[in-house]
């Protein structure tokens, strides 16, 4: 249950069904496009007037050759707010924005015709929080949006901070169980969920690779694993586009 002292924080949790692991957001507003011969990520993005980068991250398309005839590509509905589950970081976002008027390090514009907008990969910005098999990817899963990746590991496995920053939340949240949120530079945040125990408190500074928690299965989880998210503001980004290739 959500603790009373979290009630003033804007937290929207939309859950539908029960999945093998936790943090999913209901999202049936979009549609799937079946790729035809001769189509590319650019022609599909242009046809549906969506950003190439958003299309790539939602569908785990890291290079143009990943788009093959017959595959289904999820198209988020344009002009409506995305279905990302809100995390309790609004006050931290406001604090970060008040410190600097600089825009986010990741820029977006309208999708342009032709192959003028590459798929961006940000290797090295964050490190893997632990070693383990990725058992669930970012993106759509059974009509719901999975806002991060799941990494399988035995209970008690140390979880490390993916980058240096400041803890902005350490506690329990419905679905996520024991959760730690860390604020990083350029309005980025990382989330570590289902922890058996949180080892850091709100307000503490952490260094990259510092142990912050232990793997568990708290919240909505059927096995021990880490649910890991990267957020730019409230927007969930695909962690595999930021982590070192394995």
Please state the φ and ψ torsions of residue 46, each to the nearest 5 degrees: -65, -40
Q: How far apart are the first and last CA of the chain?
A: 36
Q: What is the pLDDT of residue 137?
A: 95
Q: Work out the percent of the chain whose per-residue pLDDT is above 70.
A: 74
Q: Which residue has the higher pLDDT, 226 or 24?
A: 226
The mean pLDDT of 58-86, rounded to a whole number, is 84
Based on C-alpha coordinates, what's the Rg of the chain? 18
Q: Which residue has the higher pLDDT, 83 or 62?
A: 62
Contact predicate 104/184, CB 8 Å = no
User: In this model, does residue 10 exceed pLDDT 50?
Assistant: no
Q: Which uninterrupted H or E stretch holds 53? A: helix 52-58
Strand-strand pairing, 211-214 and 197-198: antiparallel
Look over the chain and give the mean of its residue pLDDT values, rounded to a whole number. Answer: 81
**Which of the residue ranges 58-72, 94-108, 146-160 would you say has the lowest mean pLDDT?**
94-108
The structure's pTM equals 0.78
**Which of the residue ranges 3-7, 31-35, 61-65, 83-87 would you say has the lowest mean pLDDT?**
3-7
Strand-strand pairing, 144-146 and 149-152: unpaired
User: In this model, does residue 36 exceed pLDDT 50?
Assistant: yes
Q: What is the pLDDT of residue 87?
A: 81
- Which numeric CATH code is attached to 121-241? 2.70.70.10
Q: What is the pLDDT of residue 148?
A: 96
| pLDDT tens digits, one per residue of 170-192 | 999 999 999 999 999 999 999 99
3 state DSSP class of 168: strand
In terms of Cα–Cα distance, which of 144, 147, 139, 142 is closest to 193? 147
| pLDDT tens digits, one per residue of 87-120 | 877 666 555 554 543 434 444 444 444 556 899 9
Contact predicate 85/114, CB 8 Å = no
Q: How many CA atoms lie within 13 A of 11 on its CB side?
A: 20
């Amino acid at each position: 249950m959500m603790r009373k002292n979290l009630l003033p924080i804007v937290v929207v949790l939309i859950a539908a069904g029960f999945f093998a692991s936790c943090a999913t957001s209901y999202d049936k507003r979009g549609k799937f496009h079946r790729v035809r011969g001769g189509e590319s990520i650019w022609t599909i993005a242009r046809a549906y007037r969506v950003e190439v980068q958003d299309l790539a991250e939602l569908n785990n398309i890291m290079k143009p050759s990943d788009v093959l005839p017959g595959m289904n590509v999820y198209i988020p509905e344009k002009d409506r707010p995305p279905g990302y589950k809100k995390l309790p970081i609004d006050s931290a976002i406001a604090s970060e924005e008040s410190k600097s008027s600089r825009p986010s390090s990741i820029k977006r514009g309208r999708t342009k015709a032709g192959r003028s907008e590459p798929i961006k990969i940000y290797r090295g910005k964050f490190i893997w929080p632990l070693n383990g098999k990725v058992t669930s990817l970012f993106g759509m899963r059974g009509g719901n949006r999975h806002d991060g990746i799941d990494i399988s590991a035995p209970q008690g496995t140390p979880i490390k901070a993916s980058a240096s920053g400041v803890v902005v939340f350490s506690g329990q949240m419905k679905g996520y169980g024991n959760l730690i949120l860390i604020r990083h530079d350029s309005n980025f945040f990382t989330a570590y969920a289902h922890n058996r125990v949180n080892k850091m408190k709100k307000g503490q500074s952490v260094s990259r690779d510092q142990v912050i928690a232990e793997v568990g299965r708290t919240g909505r989880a059927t096995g021990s694993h880490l649910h890991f998210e990267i957020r730019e503001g409230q927007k969930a980004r695909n962690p595999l586009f930021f982590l070192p290739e394995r």
